[in-house]
Amino acid sequence: MKTVSGHLHINKTEVKNIRLLLEHVKSDLDYGEGGTYNKSKGKTNDIIFDEAAAKKAQLAISDLEWILDDANFK
């Protein structure tokens, strides 16, 4: 990846790799409490789905998809 005159230029391999990463993150989010977006709660350390972290990850996914859709490819 690089910028040229302030515009992001990204090659097809980089796009493919980022999309693969995004698919793994989306899949992990779909597992809910069975995925990695968990936190301990209470004295018993019950595992619950971390809604706040998941929401941040979903926003980041949207941001990255927007970048990929708007990028200039070389």
| Chain segment 28-65, per-residue pLDDT in tens | 999 888 788 888 887 777 888 999 999 999 999 999 99
- Whether the predicted pLDDT of 3 surpasses 90: no
Q: Which of 27, 53, 23, 25 is nearest to 38 (CA)?
A: 53
Which is higher by pLDDT, 69 or 64?
64
> Number of folded domains in the chain?
1
Sign, CA dihedral 59-25-21-65, equals negative
CA angle, corner 46, sides to 42 and 52, nearest 5?
80
Task: Give the structural domain span for 27.
Answer: 2-73
- Whether the predicted pLDDT of 74 surpasses 60: no
pLDDT at 16: 92
Q: Work out the number of other CB atoms within 10 angstroms of the CB of residue 21.
A: 12
d(CA 64, CA 32) in angstroms, rounded, equals: 21
